Each structure stands twice: as structure tokens, then as C-alpha cells.
Amino acid sequence: MEREFQSSATYRALANSLPLSVLIKACDGRRVFANSAYLKWRGVRWEDVAGKVDAELFPPEIAQQYSADDRVVLAGGGSSQTVERTRMADGSLGWIERVKSPIHDASGRLIGLQVLFWDVTARVEAEEKSRFEQSLLKTLLETIPDSIYFKDLESRYLRVSGAMAEKFGYVDDEAILGLTDADMFTPEHAQQALDDEHRVIQSGEALVDRVERETWPDRDDTWCLTTKMPLRSDTGEIMGTCGISRDITALKRSEAALQEAVRMADAANRAKSEFLANMSHEIRTPMNAMVGMADLLAQTPLSEDQHEYVDTIRRSSDSLLRLLNDILDFSKIEARKLELESIVFSLGYEIQAAISTLTYQATEKGIKLHYTSDASLPNHYIGDPGRLRQVLVNLIGNAVKFTDRGNVTIEVRGLTPAEASDLATSETPVAGTVSSSAAFRISIVDTGIGIPPAQQAAVLAPFTQADASTTRRFGGTGLGLSITRQLVELMGGKLQLESEVGIGTKFYFDLRMPTADDHAAFQYDAYQDDDLVVQESQPTQRLRVLVAEDGVTNQHVIAGLLRSLGHECSIAGDGREAFVKWRSEPFDLVLMDMHMPVMDGPAATRAIRQQELGSDDHIPIIALTAAAMAEDARLCRESGMDEFLTKPIRRRRLQEILACIHPIHPAALMVEDTDAGPAGDHPCRSASSGDGDDVIPLACKELSLSDAHAGCLDLDSARSRIPGGVSGVLRLAAVFRQECQCLVGELQKDIAAGDHDAARRNAHTLKGACSLLGANLLQSVVCEIEAEAGSQGLADPAQSQRLLESLQGESARVLDAVDELLTT
């Protein structure tokens, strides 16, 4: 037999070409042939194994197993195929798949057996790994409390977790295979889930952590947090979807219960706060009467003891009123009824106003108040100036209150982008007034008693002060800082403090606020009612004032204001006339309009200052300007002016400026009104444009317009600015009508002739007149004409025609409104 296999060249060549290991054994187990793959796999030569049995080549246990397998095959058991572990040529253990078959000769006699085997180590290890992963997945699906599923492209279930089967009401999870969500949920929810899965399949992107409300046909709704992902094959092709969801029904019910509890708590808190607010209002009424009666009583002849009693009543009443105001604010904040305004204001002005209210208390204690501000910051913002001033008064007042010596410093500085990164803009701006926003920090630093570290957090809580001894010494309810903190938070900031006992305390807060654009800032400066003023009842030294103003309407207003303050005035229609009058008549000061024909205000001022050279004379000159920008202030100073007033001029602001330029002498008495009226040769001025007494009777009447003209004039604003009340407004309206008609006509001629300088000058004059009567829409048109004329924009025929049409249309509406006002 051995010779047959060894001598058969055909068989040998065939066997050696196979990638399988081939071994031929005789019936007694001796090796009679091995192909090249076998010898290479075993790492031996044929001479090393020829004629040998298993016991000579393998360990006893392996040899015995091989021999037993051989006997089964030789005994007629047929072919044997198995996967078995064996030692590889390198000594490591591996796996082979082996087939043993009997070999018969041509006559059918059994002559031996053939062994075929090949290395399947990689396959076996992969199968073991797959079985392990399958075991992990099975364990996961059987034990995880979350619902897990796999679906095909038609959204049919391929496999689900035990928890999902239980959720659907099935004991056997295989019963769900092939079903869809339409078999489980209501049609609405099933369709939503189907749409989501189609979206995942089409986009290839997962839907992560979506909160879904599950609706069932036979039970209450449930909630789940679900993630849906594309199911991909080994090649990356999408073959369906898979997902995991967690039941959050209990959590949603807890949230709903918590929200209801919060709602009820808020309702209770609001009810309490509303009660406090109502009580504060009720108590305030008799308290106001007590304060008023105490003030009146103090003005009557009283003995020394009676004066002391009245002072005690007044001080106590004031303290109680402050307490009521604090309670009212606190209640409004808690009831969420305190709303912030959103209007244009000046930050510097509000800080100065807050400082001025506390100057007296600080002076009494010998404390200095310092104010420093970052010059690079804008001055005009959009916000709630009243509440901001309340915050400042509380903080500065607190600093003065707890400081016995030294100073209190108020500092404003801009914030870096990093410092302002987490600040939100505090106010919703008025449409059309915002150019950008700015972030700043306001700090109030004192050299007072300081606050111990352990008590710093408590001082910002309501009804709390640092300690009982402080309360006894300084008094107060402890509400002020709590209200201040909440107001700062309402404005988008956070009140913070740094303090050291015996050294002092620093309160500071950061805000980001919208900044007002130039037009809005001008409107604010023009219409603000200055609080830092001299009392109107205070005696004022009589002054003789030269007014250089080309606008007839403004002439009447300024003359009326000066007469109401006890001064006399002389009117000049342009800068040259003002210069001539100054040289020929004695005056105490000059009010000089910036923009006038013939010679403007700066030129007239320079001429006056030139004439004063070499003498001790220096007449105060106050600029009158319709703008309050830094450039205008610089131009005023450079030309030699001492101060400036923005139009329309406020009576109180004018009184303050006059008092600063000419200090008030106590012996000076108020003088009666003079009859001096406007004069000059302005082309729009007529002989009947004096005080207007010949046009409008002085009988008091209401100021109102029909709905057709309601938006043309702001009569309430005009009445608050123009001296003489209703009668003053009516007199001025008659003057305005004549000047408006004349200036509109002049502007039409200027624009048609291409005279940009004249158009700009006449537009500027009409703009000032419009502001006095609150003709805001006409004023906007005139402002645009003034700007276009200054930039030569009126050279464009289409632009000129558009502005002319706007001017004609709006002026006609305004004049109709004035006619109605004067005739009703």
C-alpha cells in the first residue's frame, strides 16, 4: 500500500497541489503518505513521520483520541468530520476542521484511511466572539429596564427588549416581531413615530433625547425620553432603525405637581404682596395729610417747645413715609408688578441728581462726595432712569449713613468684553432710538464702618441689617438694600459688595444698556426737565439780557421766560445786529443762537471777545443750540462762549444758568414783567408779532385737537415748556403760524435756486420753532432738509422733489392743526 501511494505520481501531484493537509494511514495506523501542505503545517520532513503511528508523534492523550477516531472510521462508521483543538507547528494551540474517511482498493477491501484537515482558528475565534456578543446583547435585552428595539426599513419590529415587550403587554418578545407601531399606539402617535423614523432613514442622522407623549388606545398616556438612530449593515448601508427609550411618566407627573405647587405658592405670595401694597396705599393717604399739616403748622407762630414737637412729628412722618415707600416697592417686586420704563436718559445726569440729593447729609457729617466717570462711555442710554436713580440714592445714602469720616466715591467705568460677556441687554429699547449697547460698572466706595464677612450675604436680604447694634444706632428697616438688589437684577445686573471692618465698603453692579442714537439723545436733552435747579421761589437778581435769535417763535419764548424770571431783554435777529447792540447798550449777559443769518453765533462771539481785548470787561455769553453733542460744546468753548443751553429752553435750566453766571444777591428783589418784546428785521417778522395779545385773548381754555389733527402737535409737552400756560401756547401758536408759512416759502425758493446755505439756515430756524409746539413730524422733515443741504444732497433733483413734497404736505397738516387750535 505504501508503495502504491508513494509510486503514484498522479496522486502525489494532485495531493501536493491541494491547500489542505492530506495524510494517509494504513489500517494499523502507520503513516504511508503526507502531502506538502501537511508537512509544512506540521513543520516536519516526510522522513520524520514516515511509517510512524500517533503514539510516536503526539502526547498520549491526543494520540489515544486520534487512534480512537481512526478505529471508529475503520470499523465502518463512515466518514467523520469535526472541529478540534490541536497544537500548531509553533507550539500554540489552535483549531482545525478534520475529515477522516476509509480507503478501499479496487476490490472493495479496506486498506487504510484518509485524513483531510485545515486551519479554522480564525473562524472559530470569530464564532466564539460572535457568540459572546450575542450573549451580551441577549443579556442586555432581557435585563435592561429601558425599551430597546430594532426595525427594518418598513418600520416592522425585528427585535425588542424584554422591557419593551412587557410595555406592549406581551410575555414573549418574539410575538412582537413583524408588528409596527400602528399595532400598539393610537394612529396619531404611530404616524408621528413613523415620520420620525423615515426622517432618520433619509437623513442618516439620529434624533437624540426627544421627549415624547405616547398615546394608547386602551390606557392613559405615558411619557418617554427616546433616541432614534439609523441601523446600518457591515457595509454601512442603512437597513432600518434602532432606538432606546426610557419611561419618564412618573417624572412628568412630579414636574406637573411641582409646577402646581409653585403656582400656588406664587399666588399666595402675590396675595400677600398685594395686601401689603394696598395697605401701604391706604396708610399713605392719611400720612400725606399729617406731613402736610405739620408743614403748615411749622409756618405759624409757635413757642420753642411747640417747634420741637412739630419737628418731631415731621421727622417721624418722613421716616414712616420712607418705610411705606420701601414696603410698596418690595411688594410690587414680589408680586411681579414692578415694570421698568424704557426711555432715553443721561447716565451722568442721573448720577449727579442722586449725588445732589445727598450732598446736604454728607456736608453735615463732614463727608466728601467724589464722582469719577469713564470719558469714553456714551452718556445717553435707553432704560428706567427713575429706578436707576433709586438704586444710586439707596447705595450712596447707605454709604453716607454708615460713614462717620472720610469720603464716599462714586465711580463709573466701562467693562472689557471679557467682563461683560455674560451680561444681557437690560431694557427693551424704544423703536428707532438705539444705535448699539454699552456695558459699564457703577461702584460706590465708602470709608465707613465696614461689614463683617459672615454678615455680608445677610445685608442683601429683606428686613436685615448687619447686626442688632447697627439697627439701634443707625435705624432703618433693612429693606433698602434688598430692593436695590432686586432692582439691579430686574435691569439685568447683579449687586455685589466687598467690605473690610473698620476700612470701608464697596457696592458695585454691572449693567449692559442700549445706547441712544444722536437724534434720541438730542430729543432727551431738548425736553428733559432738570431736577438740579435753583428753586423758582428764590429771589433772583434782575439782569438785562441781549438775546440773539433769528427765529421769531423762539424769540417770543425766550423773552417770555426771561420776563417770568424777573429780567428784561432786548432782541437781535442775527449776529451782526447783536454785536452792534452790545457795543451801544449795557447788558449783563448775552444769549447767543449758534446758527443765524448774516453772522452766526460763534462769529459774533469772536467779534465781541476781540473788542474786549485790553480791558477788564468780559460779558458772559451763553450759546443757544438745538444740539447737545460734544462737537457743539467744543465749538461753543473755542469761540469764547461761557456756557450753552439746548433748545427748547427749559425755564428751570435757564434759571440755573443765570444763577451760576450772575450769583444771586439776597437783597435783590424780583422785578415785574417788562414789556420788552421781540424786535429785528427777520424777513418773516411783522409788526403784529409782539406778545401776540392782539391775536389771542388771554382767557383760559383747554388745549385739544380733533382726531384729524391729533398727531400733528404735542400740546401737553408744549404747555409744560412754554411760559404762560394755555394762553402762552395760544399766543405762541399765532406767532408760529406766521413764521412757519414764511420759512416754508423761503425753503421752497432756496431749494429751487440751489442755495444750500440759505436752505440749511432756514431749515435750522424752522426746526427750532417746530420743537416748541411739538410738531415732531414736520421737525423730522426739516431736520432731513438741513442735513441734505449741509452735505449738498439737495443737488439731486429727485431727492429735492421728495423733500419738497414732504415739506409741503406736513407743513399744510401742521398749519391746519394750528388754525383749529386758534379758532376753537
- DSSP of 339-368, one letter per residue? ----EEEEHHHHHHHHHHHHHHHHHHHT-E
C-alpha 247/C-alpha 484 separation (Å) is 45
| pLDDT at res. 506 | 93
Q: What is the mean pLDDT of residues 144-151?
A: 91
The secondary structure of 750-791, three-state, reads: HHHHCCHHHHHHHHHHHHHHHHHHCCHHHHHHHHHHHHHHHC
Dihedral angle over CA of 679, 685, 689, 691, nearest 10: -40
3-state helix, strand, coil in the chain (%, to 5): 50, 20, 30
Residues 29-56 have pLDDT tens digits of: 999 999 998 898 888 899 989 999 999 9
Domain of 263, CATH number, reads 1.10.287.130
- Cell numbers at 226, concatenated: 427616546
Percent of the chain with pLDDT over 90: 21
Domain shared by 380 and 446, yes or no: yes
CB 713 within 8 A of CB 818: yes
End-to-end CA distance of the chain: 142
- Secondary structure letter of residue 417 according to DSSP: T
| pLDDT at res. 23 | 92
For residue 91, count CB atoms less than 10 angstroms from its CB and return exposed for 0-12, middle for 13-18, buried for 19 or more: exposed
Q: For residue 363, is pLDDT > 50?
A: yes
C-alpha 757/C-alpha 755 separation (Å) is 6
Rounded to 5 degrees, what angle do the CA atoms 670, 676, 678 make?
A: 130
Mean pLDDT of the chain: 79
Last residue of a domain, one of 661, 690, 719: 661
* Type of residue found at 276: L
Residue for cell digits 482498493? 105
| pLDDT at res. 620 | 92
Domain of 187, CATH number, reads 3.30.450.20
* Alpha-carbon distance values, 241 to 223, 233, 280, 709 (Å): 21, 11, 65, 68
* Type of residue found at 626: A
Q: Which residues contact 41 (CB under 8 A, 6 or more apart)?
A: 21, 89, 119
pLDDT confidence bin for 324, thresholds 50/70/90: low
Domain shared by 303 and 413, yes or no: no
| pLDDT at res. 150 | 94
- Cell numbers at 195, concatenated: 415620520
Domain that holds residue 655: 544-661
Indicate whether 687 belongs to any domain: no
Q: What is the mean pLDDT of residues 662-671?
A: 42
| pLDDT at res. 729 | 80
Indicate whether 533 belongs to any domain: no
The residue that leads in pLDDT, 237 or 700, is 237
- Secondary structure letter of residue 156 according to DSSP: -
Residues 760-807 have pLDDT tens digits of: 888 888 887 887 778 888 888 888 888 888 777 777 888 888 888 888
Q: H or E stretch including 262?
A: helix 249-298
Residue of 43, 18, 19, 21 whose CA lies nearest to 33 = 21
- If one counts every other C-beta atom within 10 angstroms of the C-beta of residue 18, the result is 14
| pLDDT at res. 667 | 34
Q: Which residues contact 368 (CB under 8 A, 6 or more apart)?
A: 362, 406, 407, 408
Residue for cell digits 416581531? 177
Residues 446-472 have pLDDT tens digits of: 999 888 887 877 676 654 444 444 444
Sheet holding 110-119, edge to edge: 31-34, 21-26, 110-119, 93-104, 80-87
CB 509 within 8 A of CB 420: no
Indicate whether 686 belongs to any domain: no
| pLDDT at res. 197 | 92
Q: For residue 174, is pLDDT > 90?
A: no
The residue that leads in pLDDT, 693 or 391, is 391
Q: H or E stretch including 242?
A: strand 238-247
C-alpha 554/C-alpha 721 separation (Å) is 12
C-alpha 649/C-alpha 624 separation (Å) is 8
| pLDDT at res. 91 | 73
Domain of 611, CATH number, reads 3.40.50.2300
Q: Sort residue 366 into left (φ over 0), alpha (ψ -120 to 50) or beta.
A: left
Residue for cell digits 443765570? 658
User: Which range, 284-298, 322-336, 522-536, 810-824, is most confident?
Assistant: 810-824
* Type of residue found at 357: T
Domain shared by 602 and 616, yes or no: yes
- Secondary structure letter of residue 674 according to DSSP: P
C-alpha 788/C-alpha 816 separation (Å) is 27
* Alpha-carbon distance values, 681 to 76, 524, 678, 684, 761 (Å): 143, 32, 10, 8, 16
Indicate whether 716 belongs to any domain: yes
Domain shared by 519 and 568, yes or no: no
Residues 239-270 have pLDDT tens digits of: 999 999 999 998 888 888 888 888 888 777 77
| pLDDT at res. 677 | 42
Last residue of a domain, one of 212, 247, 282: 247
Residues 53-76 have pLDDT tens digits of: 999 988 898 889 889 988 988 888
Q: For residue 231, is pLDDT > 90?
A: yes
C-alpha 580/C-alpha 656 separation (Å) is 28
The alpha-carbon radius of gyration of the chain (Å, integer) is: 49
Q: For residue 288, is pLDDT > 60?
A: no
- According to DSSP, the residues that pair with 762 across neighbouring strands are none
CB 594 within 8 A of CB 647: no
C-alpha 368/C-alpha 359 separation (Å) is 9
Q: Which residues contact 43 (CB under 8 A, 6 or more apart)?
A: 89, 90
Domain shared by 284 and 357, yes or no: no
Q: For residue 318, is pLDDT > 80?
A: no
Residue of 627, 623, 624 whose CA lies nearest to 637 = 623
| pLDDT at res. 329 | 64
* Alpha-carbon distance values, 819 to 53, 696, 711, 725, 738 (Å): 134, 12, 15, 19, 11
Size of the chain in residues: 824
Domain shared by 374 and 523, yes or no: yes
| pLDDT at res. 325 | 65
pLDDT confidence bin for 590, thresholds 50/70/90: very high
- If one counts every other C-beta atom within 10 angstroms of the C-beta of residue 247, the result is 17
C-alpha 19/C-alpha 119 separation (Å) is 10
C-alpha 636/C-alpha 570 separation (Å) is 22
Q: Taking the CA of residue 295 as centre, how many other CA atoms within 13 Å lie in the half-sphere pointing to its CB?
A: 8
Domain shared by 517 and 638, yes or no: no
Percent of the chain with pLDDT over 70: 79
C-alpha 609/C-alpha 276 separation (Å) is 63
Domain shared by 363 and 453, yes or no: yes
- If one counts every other C-beta atom within 10 angstroms of the C-beta of residue 628, the result is 21
CB 113 within 8 A of CB 30: no
| pLDDT at res. 255 | 87
Indicate whether 417 belongs to any domain: yes
Last residue of a domain, one of 334, 366, 386: 334
* Type of residue found at 268: A
Residues 704-733 have pLDDT tens digits of: 788 777 778 887 777 766 766 677 788 788
* Alpha-carbon distance values, 789 to 483, 523, 796, 797 (Å): 51, 21, 11, 13
Domain shared by 34 and 83, yes or no: yes
Domain shared by 377 and 522, yes or no: yes
The residue that leads in pLDDT, 10 or 369, is 369
pLDDT confidence bin for 535, thresholds 50/70/90: very low
Q: What is the mean pLDDT of residues 433-445?
A: 82
- Cell numbers at 334, concatenated: 414680589
Q: H or E stretch including 99?
A: strand 93-104
C-alpha 757/C-alpha 595 separation (Å) is 11
C-alpha 383/C-alpha 434 separation (Å) is 11
| pLDDT at res. 695 | 37
* Type of residue found at 481: L
Residue of 373, 448, 371, 447 whose CA lies nearest to 410 = 371
Indicate whether 156 belongs to any domain: yes
Q: Which residues contact 459 (CB under 8 A, 6 or more apart)?
A: 451, 465, 466, 478, 481, 497
pLDDT confidence bin for 511, thresholds 50/70/90: very high
pLDDT confidence bin for 311, thresholds 50/70/90: confident
Domain shared by 258 and 230, yes or no: no
Indicate whether 815 belongs to any domain: yes
Beta strands in 6-141 (DSSP E): 21-26, 31-34, 80-87, 93-104, 110-119
* Type of residue found at 70: D
Q: What is the mean pLDDT of residues 295-321?
A: 73
pLDDT confidence bin for 546, thresholds 50/70/90: very high
Indicate whether 139 belongs to any domain: no
Residue of 337, 340, 339, 341 whose CA lies nearest to 276 = 337
The residue that leads in pLDDT, 654 or 515, is 515
| pLDDT at res. 688 | 37
Domain shared by 208 and 86, yes or no: no
The model carries a pTM of 0.37
- Please give the tally of structural domains in the chain: 6
Residue of 89, 114, 86 whose CA lies nearest to 102 = 114
